Amino acid sequence: MGEPSSGGEPMPPADEIRANFQSVEARVEGACRRTGRARANVTLVAVTKTFPAEGVSAVIAAGATDVGENRVQEARDKKPSVVGSARWHLIGHLQSNKAKDAVRLFDVIHSIDSIGLAGRVSAAAEAIGKKQTVLIEVNIGREEQKSGALPENVPDLVEKIRRLASLEPVGLMAIPPQGEPEQTRRWFRDLKRMSEACGLPQLSMGMTDDFEVAVEEGATIIRVGRAIFGTRS
């Protein structure tokens, strides 16, 4: 393992990151083949949270077109040092007081869970003349410790967000209750049904332990960190 940089995790060697990324890519392609899906219809977001800018640069060099961060401040600190270009996704909880920075830093925000937060993000986007792409986070398992709109509130929330001129709602995001990959399949199916009912094409679901099942159930965006960068300490 390499040395940590800028307070981040120790970084695996770049060739290890490349090999891991290629392995994940092969598994995504396999899941697509099993279900007759086009590989081009699944976006692999390399989750770079806690790893230094060098790690982001390494995964971009390995072929990643999209990277994901959990915290606005972490992205703000390391994005200027990243070599290479990618689409940046905010996949963690967004505090409303960070809306301006989030809009400035991220191409896609996955964690809109209330009309209040949506309004703050829309105002921040309008102020800089941007149309911000967003996904609505759903607390699909109704877990008290998790963020996200409750399933029954999603249709109304989607309609209200559609009225905000500076937001472009494109899909739903969820982190299902923890379990074996096959146990998460039912939650992915529920989210897909919900997205179809709302007329939203994008489905952000599936992480290291269950992304293949998520792809089989219709995920269009998967968020993979550990399988690429190794276990965080």
Q: Which of 211, 152, 200 is nearest to 176 (CA)?
A: 211
CA distances from 227 to 15, 208, 209 (A): 14, 6, 8
Question: What CA–CA distance (Å, rounded) separates 229 from 25?
Answer: 14
The contacts of residue 126 (CB under 8 Å, 6+ apart) are 165, 166
Q: Which of 33, 39, 69 is nearest to 52 (CA)?
A: 69
Residue ranges covered by each domain of the chain: 14-228
Residue 2 has a pLDDT of 45
Residue 233 has a pLDDT of 64
| pTM for this prediction | 0.94
CATH class, domain 14-228, is alpha beta
Please give the average pLDDT of every successive group of 10 residues along the chain, which has 233 residues.
51 95 98 97 97 96 98 97 98 97 98 98 98 98 94 98 98 95 94 97 97 98 97 74
Residue 181 has a pLDDT of 86
